[in-house]
Amino acid sequence: MLVAGEASGDLHGATLAQALATLAPERPLFGMGGRRMSEAGVELLEDVTAAAVVGGSEAIGRLPRLWRAYRHLAAALDERRPGALVVIDFPDFNLRLARVAHRAGVPVVYFIPPQVWAWRARRVETMRKLVSLVLAVFPFEPAFYRRARVPVEFVGHPILDALVGAPSRAVARRALGLVDELTIGLLPGSRREEIARVMPAMRDAAARIAAVHPTARFVLGLAPTIAAGALGEIRGTPEGHAAGPEGHAAAPEITVFPDRAHAVMRASDVLLVASGTATLEAALLGTPMVVCYRVSRTTEAMARLLVRVPWISLANLVLGRAVVPELYQARATGEHLAAEALRLIEDTGARDAQRDAFGEMGRELGEPGVGARAAAWVLATAA
CATH architecture of the domain with residue range 2-163+368-381: 3-Layer(aba) Sandwich (3.40)
Asked if pLDDT for residue 257 goes beyond 50, the answer is yes
Asked if pLDDT for residue 219 goes beyond 70, the answer is yes
Residue 87 and residue 85: Cα distance in Å, rounded?
Answer: 6
Model confidence pLDDT, tens digit, residues 5-42: 998 899 999 999 999 999 999 999 999 999 999 999 99
DSSP secondary structure string for all residues of 90-152: -HHHHHHHHHHHHHTT--EEEES---TTTB-TTHHHHHHHH-SEEEE-STTHHHHHHHTT--E
Pairing mode, if any, of strands 108-111 and 85-88?
Answer: parallel
| Lowest mean per-residue pLDDT among 29-38, 307-316, 332-341 | 307-316
Q: Report pLDDT for 383.
A: 81
Q: Report pLDDT for 226.
A: 80
Q: Please, what is the angle between helix 277-285 and helix 348-365, to 10°?
A: 110
3-state SS, one letter per residue, for the chain: CEEECCHHHHHHHHHHHHHHHHHCCCCCCEEECCHHHHHCCCEEEECCHHHCCCCCHHHHHHHHHHHHHHHHHHHHHHHHCCCCEEEECCHHHHHHHHHHHHHCCCCEEEECCCCCCCECCCHHHHHHHHCCEEEECCCCHHHHHHHCCCCEEECCCCHHHHCCCCCCHHHHHHHCCCCCCCEEEEECCCCHHHHHHHHHHHHHHHHHHHHHCCCCEEEEEECCCCCHHHHHHHHCCCCCCCCCCCCCCCCCCEEEEECCHHHHHHHCCEEEEECCHHHHHHHHHCCCEEEEECCCHHHHHHHHHHECCCCCCHHHHHHCCCCCCEEEHHHCCHHHHHHHHHHHHHCHHHHHHHHHHHHHHHHHHCCCCHHHHHHHHHHHHCC
Residue 152 and residue 175: Cα distance in Å, rounded?
Answer: 41
Asked if pLDDT for residue 50 goes beyond 90, the answer is no
Asked if pLDDT for residue 238 goes beyond 50, the answer is no
Asked if pLDDT for residue 242 goes beyond 50, the answer is no
Q: With beta carbons less than 8 A apart as the criterion, state whether 15 and 85 touch.
A: no
* Model-wide pTM > 0.85: no
Q: Report pLDDT for 128.
A: 96
Asked if pLDDT for residue 329 goes beyond 70, the answer is yes
Residue 204 and residue 90: Cα distance in Å, rounded?
Answer: 32
Q: Report pLDDT for 51.
A: 64
pLDDT class of 300 with cuts at 50, 70, 90: very low
Task: Give mean pLDDT, residues 240-254.
Answer: 58
CATH 3.40.50.2000 domain residues, the chain? 2-163+368-381, 169-365
Q: Report pLDDT for 157.
A: 94
pLDDT class of 305 with cuts at 50, 70, 90: very low
pLDDT class of 237 with cuts at 50, 70, 90: very low
- Please provide the distance, in angstroms rounded to a whole number, between the alpha carbons at the two ends of the chain: 12
| Lowest mean per-residue pLDDT among 166-180, 219-233, 240-254 | 240-254
Residue 152 and residue 145: Cα distance in Å, rounded?
Answer: 7
CATH architecture of the domain with residue range 169-365: 3-Layer(aba) Sandwich (3.40)
Q: Report pLDDT for 313.
A: 85
Asked if pLDDT for residue 120 goes beyond 80, the answer is no
Which residues are 273's β-sheet partners? Answer: 187, 291
Task: Give mean pLDDT, residues 203-217.
Answer: 97
Task: Give mean pLDDT, residues 265-270.
Answer: 98
Asked if pLDDT for residue 119 goes beyond 70, the answer is no
Report the chain's mean pLDDT, rounded to a whole number.
Answer: 88
Written as one letter, the residue type at 112 is I
Q: With beta carbons less than 8 A apart as the criterion, state whether 172 and 269 touch.
A: no
Tell me what percent of the residues of the chain surpass a pLDDT of 90: 72
Task: Give mean pLDDT, residues 312-334.
Answer: 90
Q: Report pLDDT for 188.
A: 94
Q: With beta carbons less than 8 A apart as the criterion, state whether 367 and 154 touch.
A: no
pLDDT class of 276 with cuts at 50, 70, 90: confident
- CA nearest 169: which of 179, 157, 158? 179
pLDDT class of 244 with cuts at 50, 70, 90: very low
Q: Report pLDDT for 247.
A: 45
Asked if pLDDT for residue 45 goes beyond 70, the answer is yes
Q: Rounded to the nearest 5°, which phi and psi values hold at 43? A: -75, 110
What is residue 222's three-state secondary structure?
strand
Asked if pLDDT for residue 325 goes beyond 80, the answer is yes
| Lowest mean per-residue pLDDT among 292-296, 315-319, 359-363 | 292-296
Q: Rounded to the nearest 5°, which phi and psi values hold at 46? A: -150, 155
Task: Give mean pLDDT, residues 150-154.
Answer: 97
- Please list, in sequence order, all residues whose beta carbon lies within 8 angstroms of the beta carbon of residue 180, skipping any fewer than 6 positions away: none
Model confidence pLDDT, tens digit, residues 66-102: 999 999 999 999 999 999 999 999 999 999 999 999 9
Q: With beta carbons less than 8 A apart as the criterion, state whether 207 and 244 touch.
A: yes
Side-by-side strand order, sheet with 217-222: 254-258, 217-222, 183-187, 270-274, 289-293, 326-328
Residue 338 and residue 272: Cα distance in Å, rounded?
Answer: 9
Q: Report pLDDT for 249.
A: 55
Q: Report pLDDT for 236.
A: 46
